[in-house]
Structure 1
């Protein structure tokens, strides 16, 4: 298999990470944070994850550099409707006239009418930041959407992609299995693993527990589903290909359990989310100290600060939901 062959494209690069699979930086917030994948089989293309509306032009340029056009795109496949994964779907569908948008059944209504997605982001960040981060969210006609049930098979130029529902990060999440490379396009289910310079190319992996539908039990079950396929690689959205995932999955399991138990042990208070973030930061830093004694722990913690804060928010929302059910 040919790996990591760069193709220059308008100030960025598309990187070959598998047989007919190319990784493209979505340029979300900064480089190396989120990516999209182009799956090319014969004359047909599937785009897995869309980034934001700001990513669409880069996708078009990447296809052009591979000798393909937007007319070759058969499927646009966000793993879930969080905007760093699906924010560019509507604009991309406008440009890809022959494509079908493939979405989890729970996400279809948000693609047809993204008003609630927009309102939610503006409520948190404000209109100026929303426009800067995500651009325009364009509705997609329902007739062009495939509501993908668990086990749906997509045929791409003779290549089969299989959809499996994987709740835990979000109820509207699925992962995409590519039997040709024995790899999962895992969205946020298999966590995140950035290329941190401080670790000299080694990979630190963390779960993503961001708001608002984190559920540790469901996420653990989804990990078991992914591993039951004996995958050889995970095509992470955050970030790029992770080889030999069997060597990482136990770490994910342990963190999901430990983080949940830590949060459950905290008393309800107005600053519980801050306490969760502080505890997560210390747990992650301690793990880095054990595994990479020479690493600059402070620099790594700063790199991960946004993710730690978002994870704390998601865990706090899960705790509140759990408390409401018990009340």
Structure 2
């Protein structure tokens, strides 16, 4: 049985929603910004849209009042629920990076994305079956855009590296920064690399620099929740961690060949996360 939806305040007017990836608490987060014109940041999986809709109910926000659904990137743990949420939040505009736009608005491309997830996970539709997002309600963005929500102003920031179709969301009013997956995974106070194919080290380091310059008040991750009390140092730490991770995987590949399983077996606990195999594969593909 799933726990009840209890949005947690993580910044002024900003609430964390546990999106219950694989029915696991603390594995995937989405966010509600309860502004004059409210928004959802990320859409979660197609099979757990009830979590976000439940959060709106708990916050007494009418889905019809949602101004925007901000899809940070089109990996289906973050974008899978966008189609249904757009249907349920009938007046919302969906914002997707221009490099990922076709994967959520075109049925054939969305089917290709689903098939790639099935292949990687070895499961059939592990995130549920996503609905296509209507083109006439979707805006392609590239970074630099701003959204006026009345009492909050959001800036969209191009944030490639983890994925080429990733953007971050910076609340200029509170300086909360929705980094989502662009600066890694943050679990129990520890940072882990998040480097799936087609991971790009140079692009990710440039993203860390770009986000650092915003001087955020808090980093809000997709896996999972808010970071620590020194968000700028946290971004610096991730920029230092990434090259170390890439070098380590490269050294192990030189010793053991490009065998993902053998490399994962050689890693100590510092590097182990639920996505370690995928993240090793991303580094190997970028060599």
TM-score when normalising by structure 2:
0.91
For residues 36-185 of structure 1, what are the structure 2 equivalents within 5 Å? 36-42=30-36, 44-113=37-106, 114-126=110-122, 129-131=123-125, 133-185=126-178
Residue 225 (str. 1) matches residue 210 (str. 2): yes
Do 1:105 and 1:148's aligned partners in 2 also have CA atoms closer than 8 Å?
Answer: yes
Offset of 1:283 from its aligned partner? 6.8
SS at match of 2:192: coil
CA distance in 1, matches of 2:68, 2:184: 24
Offset of 1:249 from its aligned partner? 2.7
TM-score when normalising by structure 1:
0.81
The residue number in structure 2 matching 1:207 is 193
CA distance 1:263–1:75, change in 2 (3 Å): same
Moved over 6 A (4+): none
The residue number in structure 2 matching 1:256 is 242
SS at match of 2:43: coil
Offset of 1:186 from its aligned partner? 0.5
SS at match of 2:67: strand
For structure 1, the 5+ residue unaligned runs are: 1-8, 196-202, 286-300, 320-327
In angstroms, what is the RMSD of aligned CA positions? 1.9
Offset of 1:61 from its aligned partner? 1.6
CA distance in 1, matches of 2:113, 2:175: 33
Do 1:60 and 1:69's aligned partners in 2 also have CA atoms closer than 8 Å?
Answer: no
SS at match of 1:13: coil
CA distance in 1, matches of 2:117, 2:257: 23
Offset of 1:157 from its aligned partner? 2.6
CA distance 1:120–1:246, change in 2 (3 Å): same
1:21-65 CA-partner distances (Å, limit 9, x unpaired): 0000000021101111001112x2110011111221121121111
Residue 284 (str. 1) matches residue 252 (str. 2): no
For structure 2, the 5+ residue unaligned runs are: none
Do 2:6 and 2:58's aligned partners in 1 also have CA atoms closer than 8 Å?
Answer: no
CA distance in 1, matches of 2:239, 2:61: 40
Do 1:52 and 1:135's aligned partners in 2 also have CA atoms closer than 8 Å?
Answer: yes
SS at match of 1:205: strand
